[in-house]
Chains A and B, each alone.
Chain A
Amino acid sequence: MIKFLVFVVCLCFAQNVFAQGLGEQSAYRGGQGSGYAVNIVTVTIGSNGNVESDFAKPQNKLLSETNAILFTDTLGNYTLSAFSNEGKQVKLLVKNNEVQLLGNLKTGIYWVTLTRSGRKEVYKVIKG
């Protein structure tokens, strides 16, 4: 099994080397997006020039009974992360347009960050 995993890693490496060997082709390759990305954050600057708050524009969402938040659309290509208000990472389970926060959740505020199509969406999730 270990030999086989080494083989797969070598195969991936060789594929990259092969791609780089055909370097000129990189100029004509792509796959996602339109060569454009944006990210917007809101920040409050204090009188001493320090940051008082820093967050991507959050939207509020309520947790369901199963500790899930629902999106009106399926997520497509995305990256997701979730943290408690104290900064502790929370595990997630994604099913279609539903993101479930896993573990023994206390009542309070959680933050879910969803990045897709070059855009970051931040959700302030409240467990009542």
Chain B
Amino acid sequence: MKFRLLMMGLFISLVANCSNLQLGEVRILNHRQLSINLGWSQCWNLEGKRAPFNHDAVYLFLKGKQSNTESISLPIASVSLKSTLVSAKLKSIGVIFETETQDTALRFTAIIDLVTPLSQGSWEISAYAIEMVYIPEGSFWMGDSLSNNTLGGKNSSLLLVDGNPKPIFQMGDTNALSNNNTSGFSSFYLMKQEVSQASYTDFLNSISKEEAEVLAPSILNLSIADSRRNRCFITKVKGKYGTDANQNGILNEWNDGGSIACNWLTNKQLLAYLSWAGLRPFTELEFEKACRGSLKPKAKEFAWGTQYATDGNTITQLGTAVEKVSEIGNDSSGLTNHALLAGNLYLEGPLRSGFALSITSNRVTAGAGYYGNADLSGNLWEQCLKVNINTTLPLGNGTTNYTTEWGTGKDYIPRGGAWLSLVFNILGYGFRDLAISDRFYIDYDLNEPRGTIGGRGAL
């Protein structure tokens, strides 16, 4: 009996530590005010304390829709909180919630005042929450002097990005790095996980039917069972977009793959999503900082800071919010989703965004970047603005019409590799897509949809 109680106590304690972003009750109090219950577990705030000297956060934004119209952003005027463990600050079209403490299960209520009161009539109000990682201001090293097309050039001395203008010895480019929000020196928030299929379908359902048809993944006409979809389970039933991994015709069930990273995203589709959410794309310099932090580069290392990878290849809890693999990483070999040699079995698509994070994982076994972002190496390619594109990258305006300053597909480079990237744990092998500094596909046109490409946004 005592043993059972002991086991029960341990189980409750462990379950309480499961990471799980939860958006509870959303209650409209009147035409200009609403209350929202929000919480997440495994929150951290290590600023000024110890590595990685940052904190996590949740970005929340609101959309409103009246019948037969497309949704509009509902800008937030102010936020008050019934908790001292969390703070809120207005950012873009929404609000950033940040933890003030090292708490394992944060739950709180926020009272939100809208800038523009809701007009009389029936409204559908949607609240969207995205887990973010705060990446603090500070210098970092770019390139590793060995990877394909590495920043700084092959066999050159390493370059420190410290906020002072510097030339990029790459492609004959003479543009200087400046201390703007694209150099990576300044602080920024980066989505902890890649854009999921659920979040992308919610986006499609929010915009006009005509726009949604243009921005829907190109593989929609293939049956869900078709292997050419590469685990993209997005479909359309009775005019609504959703996921249907279990192929029963009912969308968005618990095992329908909504948490799987969204592939087949063209650059245009990703940028439209980011703009609608009030986010922005991130640059390849920001990518390298998110991976490596302030640490000195190791040759051909992966996002988790070692040169070795363990392939996640055996899925358990398929398509659910806890989808993971049975393989485990170790202290030198990070867990990720990549390809094996031809003829060997490997997954033919992405896994759940953040599949390797667990209640006991560390940076390497979670396959995470220095600051805590998941899947920067492997699963799906990130879409990063190239280093030679000089812009300040303004935030999205809440619509799908993104600013021309964000550029187009040819201005972006795929970074970090994907489920189809072959990885040998031999440093001498030429191809190493998952390496932080590898830029093999420097001339790739990201306007082309591929089952290996997804993305994430910054703020």
Chain A contacts to B: CB under 8 angstroms: 4-5, 8-9, 11-12, 15-16, 19-20, 23-47, 49-51, 54, 56-57, 72-78, 115-120
- Per-position 1/0 for B243-258, Cβ under 8 A of A: 0001010101111001
Write out the residue numbers on chain A whose beta carbons fall within 8 Å of the beta carbon of B5: 4-5, 8
Write out the residue numbers on chain B whose beta carbons fall within 8 Å of the beta carbon of A76: 254-255, 320-321
In contact, A41 and B254 (Cβ under 8 angstroms) = no
Write out the residue numbers on chain B whose beta carbons fall within 8 Å of the beta carbon of A36: 21, 128-131, 193, 196, 198-199, 259, 353
In contact, A119 and B252 (Cβ under 8 angstroms) = yes
5 pairs from A and B in contact (CB 8 Å cutoff): A9-B9, A30-B374, A32-B321, A45-B121, A54-B28
How many angstroms from the CA of A44 to the CA of B26 in the assembled complex?
A: 14
Question: Which of B12, B260, B354 counts the most A-chain CB atoms under 10 A from its CB?
Answer: B354
How many angstroms from the CA of A73 to the CA of B357 in the assembled complex?
A: 27
- Closest Cβ–Cβ distance, residue B1 to chain A (whole Å): 9
Chain B contacts to A: CB under 8 angstroms: 2, 5-6, 8-10, 12-14, 16-32, 36, 41-44, 46, 49-52, 54, 56, 102, 104, 117-131, 133, 191-194, 196, 198-199, 202, 246, 248, 250, 252-255, 258-261, 320-322, 352-354, 357-363, 365-366, 368, 371-372, 374
In contact, A51 and B21 (Cβ under 8 angstroms) = no
- Closest Cβ–Cβ distance, residue A11 to chain B (whole Å): 6
Give the number of residue pairs across the A-B interface with Cβ within 8 Å.
Answer: 238
Write out the residue numbers on chain A whose beta carbons fall within 8 Å of the beta carbon of B246: 73
- Closest Cβ–Cβ distance, residue B123 to chain A (whole Å): 5
Given contacts A45-B123, A76-B254, contact A34 B9 (CB under 8 A): no
Write out the residue numbers on chain A whose beta carbons fall within 8 Å of the beta carbon of B322: 31-32, 77
Write out the residue numbers on chain A whose beta carbons fall within 8 Å of the beta carbon of B368: 27-28
Write out the residue numbers on chain A whose beta carbons fall within 8 Å of the beta carbon of B22: 37, 115, 118
Write out the residue numbers on chain B whose beta carbons fall within 8 Å of the beta carbon of A4: 2, 5
Write out the residue numbers on chain A whose beta carbons fall within 8 Å of the beta carbon of B321: 32-34, 76-77, 116-118
Q: Which of B25, B125, B253, B352 contacts A34 (CB 8 A)?
A: B352
Write out the residue numbers on chain B whose beta carbons fall within 8 Å of the beta carbon of A8: 5-6, 8-9
How many angstroms from the CA of A76 to the CA of B20 in the assembled complex?
A: 14
Q: Which of B49, B118, B133 contacts A23 (CB 8 A)?
A: B49
In contact, A29 and B129 (Cβ under 8 angstroms) = no
In contact, A51 and B259 (Cβ under 8 angstroms) = no
Given contacts A15-B13, A54-B27, contact A29 B359 (CB under 8 A): yes
Provide the main secondary structure of the chain A interface: mixed
In contact, A28 and B357 (Cβ under 8 angstroms) = yes
In contact, A72 and B250 (Cβ under 8 angstroms) = yes
How many angstroms from the CA of A5 to the CA of B30 in the assembled complex?
A: 46
In contact, B254 and A116 (Cβ under 8 angstroms) = yes
- Which residue of B is nearest A5, CB measured? B5
In contact, B102 and A26 (Cβ under 8 angstroms) = yes
In contact, B13 and A16 (Cβ under 8 angstroms) = yes
In contact, A35 and B254 (Cβ under 8 angstroms) = no
Write out the residue numbers on chain B whose beta carbons fall within 8 Å of the beta carbon of A44: 121-123
How many angstroms from the CA of A113 to the CA of B308 in the assembled complex?
A: 46
Given contacts A19-B17, A72-B250, contact A31 B51 (CB under 8 A): no
- Closest Cβ–Cβ distance, residue B243 to chain A (whole Å): 10
In contact, A24 and B46 (Cβ under 8 angstroms) = yes
In contact, A49 and B117 (Cβ under 8 angstroms) = yes
In contact, B102 and A20 (Cβ under 8 angstroms) = yes
In contact, A41 and B359 (Cβ under 8 angstroms) = no
Given contacts A24-B50, A27-B52, contact A35 B353 (CB under 8 A): yes
- Closest Cβ–Cβ distance, residue B377 to chain A (whole Å): 14
Write out the residue numbers on chain B whose beta carbons fall within 8 Å of the beta carbon of A43: 28, 118, 122-123, 125
In contact, B44 and A26 (Cβ under 8 angstroms) = yes
Q: Which of B29, B104, B127, B133 contacts A20 (CB 8 A)?
A: B104
Given contacts A30-B374, A31-B19, A37-B21, contact A42 B254 (CB under 8 A): no
How many angstroms from the CA of A103 to the CA of B19 in the assembled complex?
A: 35
- Which residue of A is nearest B56, CB measured? A27
Write out the residue numbers on chain A whose beta carbons fall within 8 Å of the beta carbon of B131: 35-36
Question: Which of A15, A36, A78, A120 counts the most B-chain CB atoms under 10 A from its CB?
Answer: A36
Given contacts A12-B12, A37-B22, contact A29 B361 (CB under 8 A): yes
How many angstroms from the CA of A114 to the CA of B127 in the assembled complex?
A: 17
Write out the residue numbers on chain A whose beta carbons fall within 8 Å of the beta carbon of B366: 28-30
